[in-house]
Structure 1
Amino acid sequence: MGAEAQAKEQLELMMKLADARLDTFQSKLQNMFLDKSSAAKTSVPGKRALRFERHVQVDAETTPGQGVSDAVDAFFGASETGGKGVLEGFKAVVKTGMSAILGDCSAGESYDEKFFVCIKHNAIIRVDMYTYKYNFINEGVIANHKNILAYILCISVVDHRDVTVDELVYLASEFAGDGDIGVNSGYTTYLESLMKTWNALSSLEPPELDPGRKPVNYNGIRLTGNTDVQALPAPAPVPAQ
């Protein structure tokens, strides 16, 4: 076997290794979707993949170049949503995560795994990210290649019933801003509009696989002037005719 063929074979093996690392992370995501009740004990789980991207490349730059930046922008979408800079902030989290890996020049494997939950397009979403990089000891080891970069980005929608009231308040504040609070403020109005939307759509949801799962009725919740969330008394039962 010639040197060129040997180098090509070695590169293919390293790319298969990167693919195997992505397979492991993708399997973790699938397990979360399949066993959401167990996943909910330790984190806010997504329901299933809504948008998914898996990528492997050779000779990645040491900083997120325009190609990576454009890929992240395209994945999240460029439409304005939420308070000023919220969407750009989420993109920055992903790009920063990639920067840590791309800037690591130590030989061998490095990886970064993270997730975050936010509100986008009036839904609660979870973003999972896994980045893997293998740096060769020096150029010329495998046909003058420097490294292999692989990553997975996944967006899933969170069932709002899996989010506590406190978590919802935090997410809505992050989305709408908490500088303007109180009755008729942007924060209060937005949070109430979310709850009204969920109530209106609850009758359109398909039957739950878990018959014991009860829907959350936000009609019994109101926001007071100090933005505390309080439960209203349940209406009296209607006597049987």
Structure 2
Amino acid sequence: MSKRNGNSSDPDHASLAVLIDADNAPAKIIDGLFEEIAKYGTASVKRIYGDWTKPNLGGWKDVLLKHSVQPVQQFAYTKGKNATDSSMIIDAMDLLYTKQLDGFCIVSSDSDFTRLAARLREEGLMVYGFGEEKTPEPFVSACDKFIRTEVLRSDHSPEQDESKEAPTEATPKPIQKEPPPLQLIANVIDSIGDEDDWANLSTVGQLMSKRKPDFDTRLYGHKKLSDLLRAYPKWFELKKGAGSGVLVKALRK
């Protein structure tokens, strides 16, 4: 049975559980991670799993207090087997049935959480995945939205954090080596365009996330979808719509 409280579409009210696989996520993402999560809701539960007796998790130990993340100790019972995954999955199912949550944030690049993501979505909850570029496609596709952690690290470089000058709105550096999915974007625009082929840009962005959960304009060096499309004038045309909205037309189909 679903535990949604009916406010999941409103980031100010959506209650989220954040579960971090410390063995498969770098500690340097933590500031960007929680800033990103704040876009989707409030992190009501924050837990991180790993064997804290091992020195390789030292980076995480230094930053957990700042973000009030609860460490969960998980010993490796068998060499070569990751007991952390099982602990996270068990806790996720416990939270599903004991807490009033609207969604889960699963922070890992491990495909073992694919079935968990699918199961949570079956219950009507939103699932946000966070992982590195190497994350297997099945886990990416099982999430409603998937954010590459490389993006979080690039947005919060040490140079920016330590600068004493007033912060400027810097353009993120491209991370994805391949070009953006221009044809897919054009297909989405064409599928919802009016009789003159114009489509609402915001709706296009929402549908792109559904078609491709890991679509993120920051991967291609652009903060917003409008910036990305304007970089390809032979493909897309944009104009101001009613109110503050923006309309877009695909020039190639």
Q: Under a length normalisation based on structure 1, what TM-score does the superposition of the two structures give?
A: 0.26
- Greater RCO structure (CA 8 Å; 6+ sep): 1
Larger radius of gyration: 1
Q: Under a length normalisation based on structure 2, what TM-score does the superposition of the two structures give?
A: 0.25
